[in-house]
Amino acid sequence: MAKRFMKYNPSFLSEEDLIGNFAVRHADLGLIVRIIRENVTDSNQHVLIIGPRGSGKTTLVLRAAAEIQRTKELFERWYPLIFSEESYEVVSAGEFWLEALFHLSEQTGDKKWRRTYDELKDETDHQRLGERALAQLLDFADSQGKRILLIVENLNMLFGDLTSDEEAWKIRHTLMNEPRLMLLATATSRFETIENSSQAMFEMFKMQELKPLDDDECNRIWELITGQKLIGERIRPIQILTGGNPRLLTIIATFSAQRSFKQLLDDLIDLIDDHTEYFKSQLDNLPVIERKVYLSLAELWNASTARDVARAARLDVNKTSSLLGRLVGRGAVVVEVQEKKTKWYRVAERMYNIYYLMRRRGKPADRVKAAVKFMVSMYDPESAVKLITEEACGLSPEHRQDHYLAFVETINQIPDGKLREKIIVSAPKIFLESPYLAKALQNVKMQGEKTDTTVTLYSKEPSESEEKIAAYDEIIERLGNGKAPKIRKQVARAMVRKGVALINRSEDAIAAFDEMIKRFGNDKEPDIRKQVAWAMVYKGTALIELQSI
């Protein structure tokens, strides 16, 4: 029988499916069950599970409820009463207990409790409503000989909607003094009512924060959904792509069945479209200025310093650094590398990069680039290039334009110079020798060039010969010893363009590209790495001309 998975509504699963799909968060479950088991005194320990959307809060608390149902000792002492994921109708303590009565009538199916709920709905005095609804709940607990475990989601929203602080204090008073009630709640983040010593819920809960899944936990979910584990380090890019978020991981694992590049490009667009509300809701929950910094980092894609992000966001560096610190605290951003006083940041969940790039930039070429970033995250670079080139070779040349753009973009994503060269020279001859590859290269602007400047491969124009080669040689000789990044970029670009000018003399062109790759192949500057990638692509094309592959 096929397993069922719910990305957004675990409450729709049967108890059997819920238990069968529970592959991670066992330590968190153990903590909750231990506290429930130890709540035997006149004052219960209440529990608050904190984690961002998609981190598995709902699944965890529902699994705790299922554990009560299937464990004799707990079943005899506890009755789990499960609220909806949102309690929009609750604005007072009285309505909180009325909402509990509503869910009791729904869970038991007993018409008596439905009649009681309908009768209490007519009560207009919130104080009397609270007293009467609470009394009915406690009567139920006594009739069953059990304590009631109230499972309430999004507690931060619920307390934020209360009409006054006094209502929150009323709820606290009942929970602190009534041993027949325990609260197991969830929240997307810490909030004022539990953090501030003057607020009602301060030090009320044992708080358990859900951490991002590690590689091993990600692999357990991957195996559960796809039927097989990812071998070796292959799970690491998936963990980075999803940020260890179980919901995103489920989405990606469900999506991951082998696809052609064309299918992947089309389906990735559908994936983003299908889950736009999820991605958008996450972004909408960020304060405006934090969202600006977050999206600037998302567009940069590569790990970036606070100065890089500040420039992109058009904000002060110190303010940007502080906002990045807040985003790290929220789990939305991670510190990828830290060298002395400099931190390099990236978005915790790479799918937000993909979402933002595809939503903000709608041109086909940009969608190809986003698909490539997704592929390089999902697969190793060699597998991504193999998928692209093999499929392209089965198509007529005029239908390969997306594949050529994807090929160039994939090469640009690989920081290791030797691996880039290995991948380029191992590409099929029929792929590299096509004139459409040159056209694809022409349509992609060289790093640092003006908009109207393109590279022409295999040009027959006399102007592309000795005069330009001499000009590039002069730049290389005059600036060749410069250490500043801007100078190195100029030299790297001149060396690539010299090779392109020599492209009709294949051996000389190959020598020029080799010299550039030797000099800059291990340079860490992203713009220079891109120039090295261009040199490798051109060298591969020149090698084809020379029939050296």
At 229 the pLDDT is 87
Which is more confidently placed, 353 or 7? 353
List domains and CATH numbers for the chain: 10-209 (3.40.50.300), 380-546 (no CATH)
At 120 the pLDDT is 95
The share of the chain scoring above pLDDT 90, in percent, equals 34
Q: Contact at 8 Å (CB) between 153 and 61? A: yes
Write the pLDDT tens digit of every residue in 481-515. Answer: 888 888 888 899 899 888 888 877 878 888 998 89
Sheet holding 46-50, edge to edge: 78-82, 147-152, 181-187, 46-50, 205-209
At 461 the pLDDT is 43
Q: Contact at 8 Å (CB) between 137 and 147? A: no
Residues 282-292 as b or e (16 or more Cβ within 10 Å = b) = beeebeeebbb
d(CA 219, CA 217): 5
| pLDDT band for position 188 (cuts 50, 70, 90) | confident
Which letter does DSSP use for residue 191 in this model? Answer: -
Residues 6+ apart with CB under 8 A from 216: none
Residues 528-537, mean pLDDT to the nearest whole number: 79
| pLDDT band for position 454 (cuts 50, 70, 90) | very low
Residues 168-176, mean pLDDT to the nearest whole number: 95
Please determine, for residue 12, whether its predicted confidence score (pLDDT) is greater than 80.
no
| pLDDT band for position 457 (cuts 50, 70, 90) | very low
Please determine, for residue 531, whether its predicted confidence score (pLDDT) is greater than 50.
yes
Please determine, for residue 398, whether its predicted confidence score (pLDDT) is greater than 90.
no
Arithmetic mean of pLDDT over the chain = 82
d(CA 205, CA 187): 12
Please determine, for residue 449, whether its predicted confidence score (pLDDT) is greater than 60.
no
At 181 the pLDDT is 97
Write the pLDDT tens digit of every residue in 104-152. Answer: 999 999 999 999 999 999 999 999 999 999 999 999 999 999 999 999 9
The share of the chain scoring above pLDDT 70, in percent, equals 82
Q: Contact at 8 Å (CB) between 189 and 154? A: no
| pLDDT band for position 538 (cuts 50, 70, 90) | confident
Which is more confidently placed, 338 or 170? 170
Q: Contact at 8 Å (CB) between 47 and 206? A: yes
Nearest to 58 by CA among 98, 124, 10, 125: 10
At 289 the pLDDT is 94
- Helix locations, 443-465, DSSP H: none
Q: Contact at 8 Å (CB) between 99 and 90? A: yes
| pLDDT band for position 336 (cuts 50, 70, 90) | confident
Please determine, for residue 439, whether its predicted confidence score (pLDDT) is greater than 70.
no
Which is more confidently placed, 512 or 398? 512
